[in-house]
């Protein structure tokens, strides 16, 4: 319980303000300069970053398909990715397009997972309950 309270405190005082600042300073111009590559990058990252790996590890981890799909989809690119991106960009002197692409993926991930959270949870609960029924388990 104490760890949950600490996590909520960190979320409230560090992560949320950072996302607010990111939202206030979105690099729209850099995103526009990426052209057609921007949506392709977002789709590729959202679909290929976690889902295939979790599906490949489903058997060794003994995960039912609904659990694997849920874990594969709901893994947003977080604040730590933004931190590492800016730290390495400064150290290596990378092009601004790299920072633009990184912030685009972070923003798109946050929006995509936020928009699909309720529907995804409902699908997951429904899939789990139907799987429990097919196994003959009692559903509370």
Whether 27 and 34 have beta carbons less than 8 Å apart is answered as: no
CA of 25: how far to CAs of 28, 62, 100, 110, in Å?
Answer: 9, 43, 11, 15
The whole-angstrom separation of Cα 130 and Cα 136 is 10
Q: With a cut of 50, which residues of the chain have pLDDT below it?
A: 138-140
Task: For tokens 């060794």, name the residue.
Answer: 60
Enter the pTM of the model.
Answer: 0.75
pLDDT in tens, 3-25: 667 767 776 777 777 778 878 88
pLDDT at position 24 is 84
Can you give the residue ranges of every domain in the chain? Answer: 26-135
pLDDT at position 136 is 58
């Amino acid at each position: 319980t104490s760890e949950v309270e600490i996590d909520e405190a960190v979320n409230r005082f560090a992560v949320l303000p950072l996302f607010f600042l990111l939202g206030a300073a979105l690099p729209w111009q850099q995103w526009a300069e990426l052209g057609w590559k921007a949506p392709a990058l977002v789709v590729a990252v959202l679909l290929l970053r976690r889902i295939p790996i979790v599906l490949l590890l489903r058997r060794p981890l003994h995960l039912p398909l609904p659990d694997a799909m849920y874990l594969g989809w709901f893994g947003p690119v977080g604040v730590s990715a933004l931190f590492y991106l800016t730290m390495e960009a400064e150290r290596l002197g990378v092009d601004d397009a790299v920072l633009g692409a990184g912030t685009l993926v972070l923003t798109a991930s946050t929006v995509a997972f936020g928009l699909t959270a309720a529907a995804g949870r409902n699908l997951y609960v429904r899939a789990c309950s139907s799987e429990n029924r097919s196994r003959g388990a009692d559903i509370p």
